[in-house]
Amino acid sequence: MAVSAAAVFFDKDGTLVDDVPYNVDPARVRLAQGAERALPAIAAASYRICVVSNQSGIARGYFDAAALARVEARLREMLAATGVALDGFACCPHHPDGVVGRYAVACACRKPAPGLITTLAAAGAIECRRSWMVGDILDDVEAGRRAGCRTVLLDNGDETEWRRSPERAPHYVARDLAHAAAIIIDGGRA
């Protein structure tokens, strides 16, 4: 299969949806402000929409993968209501400090590692160098850069660990999802 598609990989909590820590209640999932306009515009520009999310609540024993699947289903419904398909959804259930043995490990998928992005890219014939990673913290930026994507940091106040390095330097900073969409659609010139 030839790699030809481009995608925008979104972090879930605090980026695509309002941040409710360890939330697995589909009724509490709300699209972030501006998502209902930004996502259709990005999809219309021929980008696939994908979600990549660290979900350490599984490793910590707060919820199981089935609970997260219900959140994914709700997110797919919400995006479909805006006319957008969710083309990929990948979550990392791991955390080295977890209490659930099989998930209490270091892994290659937990952001800032690029594994979630590269796995979805391989499965969907997505070319990372033509794609974008949008997130609200520098771990998202680092994962995107390490996968070969251009990156947008949403400047919404969620970053708390300002560890600087070239891999953690976003290509662009956006004030909200509408601004991020404009940057992406304009190829970084907005």
Residues classed as catalytic: 11, 13
User: For residue 167, what are its two tokens?
Assistant: 């891999």
| Pairwise CA distance, residues 117 & 104, whole Å | 21
| CB-CB contact of 150 with 185 (8 Å) | no
Adjacency order of strands within the sheet including 6-11:
88-92, 47-54, 6-11, 132-135, 150-154, 172-174
Three-point CA angle 18, 20, 21, nearest 5°: 135
Which residue type occupies 13? Answer: D
Closest CA to 140 of 175, 174, 167: 167
What is the distance between the alpha carbons of residues 62 and 130, in angstroms, rounded to a whole number? 36
User: Coil, helix or strand for 91?
Assistant: strand
